[in-house]
Structure 1
Amino acid sequence: MSGPGEQVAEWVGAEVGAFVPLGSRDGGPWRVAVGGTEVVVKVGRRREPFVVEVAALERAAAFGVAAPRVLAADLGGGLAGHFGVVTSVVRGSSRIPVDVRAGRLRELGAAAARLHRVVVEPTAELPLRERAIEDVDFAADWRERGPAELLEEAEQVLEGFDRDGGPRVFLHGDLWQGNTMWVGDSCTGMVDWDGAGTGPSGVDVGSMRCDAAILHGLGAADLVLDGWEREAGSRAPDVARWDVVAALGTPADLGDWLPVIHGQGRGDLDARTATARRDEFLRAALGR
């Protein structure tokens, strides 16, 4: 474990006060204690994710969305060419249980529905999103490594699909269980907002459903949907096609994501199982 570098430490100290590193993975983000209160420090070389995250968290605060609050930010690259943000800590844990907890999965969907009540028009800081994790070219990866027949059928289904249809709502943009915090089966907030933006709710709904299917099996996706629809008081639109969008927004081989999944407590999953579950989720969507 390592703490923030000297220049980052000086910046955090000047912005929020003297701190004691509590440890995190090398390179951050770091959890540090300031005057008995824990905060999170993130630093990176790319400006855009920090601009998006700060704008998203400020919007979340304005509408009472459960998320970290921004305590300090450097969007000018003053940290030796790096950018940084200091946020409050959302209580709870992001570790993902092995067993299928219906109440928790419904609560995940409900938390997203509460977020999606916020209607947002696109801005430079919170752009229009048509899928999750837009800065990664998953399409190229699928063309190189994915099952050709699945990709071809999926592309045919999505041909002409208006991904900008319906109300434009506040999107997290990378909504899976590892980016949510929990106390028991109650969701206390969402973290890691650097992919946020605005767009159809299906971007987040499909992402959550795909994640649930990968981590717990196909039936778990419908528990998430049930929670979203109960909280929203309406049916989610175009579920099958947003499921296809979400499935294609993952690596062709989910072994690429396995270290992150294992780090969230799911060391029981192997690449073959995770990929097979994602493919089953995609086939089910194509069959509807």
Structure 2
Amino acid sequence: MIGADIASAVPLTGGVAQSVTGVTTTDGREYVLRLWSRPDWRETDPDHSPENETAALTALVGSGLPVPEVVAVDAEGRHGEYPALLMTRLPGTILHSATHRSPTAEPLTADMLRQLVDAADVLHALPVPDVGPYAPYEDLSEWEPPSEHPVWERALAVAASGPPPGPDVFVHRDFHPGNTLWREGRLTGVIDWTTAARGPAGVDLAHLRINLVLAYDRATADSVLRFASEHNPYWDVRAVLDLVDEDDEDDLPTVEEYLESLL
């Protein structure tokens, strides 16, 4: 498959339904092996599939975006214990501050935020491949507000009004700094394409913004809008309802202030 013996295999931080391993061969090449190892993933996360990620990565070839290349795929797990996808490994590292709020963590500069928005714009302008349709992460028919703050009822009313009209484009659907790689302030990778979809462009900007609120602060999330060509707060509200629950007690005041600014 890769024409060389394996020198090392090191577990990496992975996705919801997968385990991810960094593989280095004896001739120095580096790969990432993603295994769909959680037993119930096809029932609970059917859109997180090797077929979907393979379709997305194949469509991204030649796009100019820094994304992994597919080396081999075993979508049914016929050659091993689990379905598998082998990809090239990109240079760079995930920012510590992208997933851990810390006063000493590295900030996202204005130029880095611009690079993120530019990458999303490139993605949204590409032909839409054969990936799954966008769907919200949460079914709001059974969703319970994480607190008694009145802003949550207003947010639910906005979501119930339905999304604004617009074309379906190629979206990452889990677009945030934790799914990017960086080296010396330059974006070197956009990773984790398992939930790529055809859907509204606003989904990616909104997902980016709520993650910036959670990992950094509201000011960082708002500063992204300087680089965005268009913005609809509906998708920001929908992203908050998708990602925030009672388990995020420490973040609720910040998130509720953010929601107040949207409504």
TM-score by length of 1: 0.75
Q: 2:242 matched to which residue of 1?
A: 249
Rounded to whole Å, the distance in 2 between the matches of 1:209 and 1:169 is: 19
Q: 1:43 matched to which residue of 2?
A: 35
The alpha-carbon distance between structure 1 residues 282 and 161, as it changes in their structure 2 partners (threshold 3 A), is same
Q: How does 1:154-233 map to 2 (within 5 A)?
A: 154-162=155-163, 165-227=165-227, 229=228
Q: 1:277 aligns with which of 234, 249, 254?
A: 254
Shift of 1:23: 1.4
The alpha-carbon distance between structure 1 residues 213 and 251, as it changes in their structure 2 partners (threshold 3 A), is closer
5+ unaligned residues in a row in structure 1: which ranges?
1-13, 230-234, 256-270
The alpha-carbon distance between structure 1 residues 25 and 237, as it changes in their structure 2 partners (threshold 3 A), is closer
Cα deviation 1:113-154 (Å, max 9, x = unaligned): 121111416x4xx122144xx3xx364784164446333211
The alpha-carbon distance between structure 1 residues 210 and 144, as it changes in their structure 2 partners (threshold 3 A), is closer
Q: 1:112 matched to which residue of 2?
A: 120
Cα deviation 1:187-242 (Å, max 9, x = unaligned): 11210011101111100000011111222211111222222x2xxxxx3142x111
Query: Quick check: 1:203–1:246 contact (8 Å CA) kept in 2?
Result: yes
Q: Identity over aligned residues, as a percent?
A: 26
Q: How many residues align?
A: 242
CA RMSD across the alignment:
2.5
Which amino acid in the other structure matches residue 184 of structure 2?
Answer: G
Report which stretch shifted further, 140-149 or 195-204.
Answer: 140-149
Rounded to whole Å, the distance in 2 between the matches of 1:71 and 1:275 is: 42
5+ unaligned residues in a row in structure 2: which ranges?
98-104
Q: 1:21 matched to which residue of 2?
A: 8
Q: 2:82 matched to which residue of 1?
A: 82
Query: Quick check: 2:57–2:70 contact (8 Å CA) kept in 1?
Result: yes
TM-score by length of 2: 0.82
Say which SS state the counterpart of residue 30 (structure 1) adopts: strand
Cα deviation 1:49-94 (Å, max 9, x = unaligned): 2111111111111533321010011012214551000001121111
